[in-house]
Structure 1
């Protein structure tokens, strides 16, 4: 199972992108809203009690959620920096990616919900052959779409 944690309910649109991909691959998940700053005890209880294999944590502005989760577990954590009104998400990106030695957070692009889900699926696919096959098909479908777009291009 993958745990999807939003720092705020305002991150719902990005969480929906994650969930769409997880559903497409039939990967079980649970979604929570838990602020690292406003509900630290709740976050600690949740991280310590869930059976999730991978955490996807998204937050904007200070964006410490993924790092705090990574500090509470040795399970993989994927951070999604959320675009904020303050600095177009650069503040979130830097807060998520600049982790101290020993506490890694895999970080995707600002608002990169789809890639966070795909990275988590790739991690699970290391030991799940059926999931790996779905991921290979997904990539082949991406390639086919690019080839088709080239064929459909009518600028010559």
Structure 2
């Protein structure tokens, strides 16, 4: 199969896993390569920024962000 881009699923914390779990299941069902990571826009902003900046070079074509109460994570990645 040609070099396929991966999907990055980013959670703000492990408490977001119940929501993200179903997305991972759909990606598995369609044989889409993905990785799930916990990165917080508030607690680990440097790590989140570094991941976002290097995502394309690391083979990611899509980044899905899931966060709870204050959903700054998607904005930080954008």
TM-score bucket of the superposed structures, by smaller chain: 0.7 to 0.9
Are residues 1:41 and 2:46 paired? yes
The number of aligned residues is 70
Q: SS where residue 27 of structure 2 aligns?
A: helix
For residues 26 and 49 of structure 2, what CA distance do their matches in structure 1 show?
27
Gaps (5+ residues) in structure 1? 71-156
Structure having the larger proportion of residues in helix: 1
User: Which structure is larger by alpha-carbon Rg, 1 or 2?
Assistant: 1
Which residue of the other structure, out of 51, 66, 71, is the alignment partner of 1:58? 66
Q: Could you list the per-position Cα deviations for residues 73-98 of structure 1 after superposition, in whole angstroms to 9, with x for gaps in the alignment?
A: xxxxxxxxxxxxxxxxxxxxxxxxxx
Structure having the larger proportion of residues in strand: 2
For residues 60 and 10 of structure 1, what CA distance do their matches in structure 2 show?
8
For residues 48-127 of structure 1, the aligned pairs below 5 Å read 48-50=53-55, 51-70=59-78
TM-score (norm 2): 0.85
Q: Which aligned runs of 4 or more in structure 1 are off by greater than 6 angstroms?
A: none
Gaps (5+ residues) in structure 2? 1-5
Are residues 1:26 and 2:31 paired? yes
**Higher RCO structure (Cα 8 Å, ≥6 apart):** 2
TM-score (norm 1): 0.44
For residues 40 and 63 of structure 1, what CA distance do their matches in structure 2 show?
14
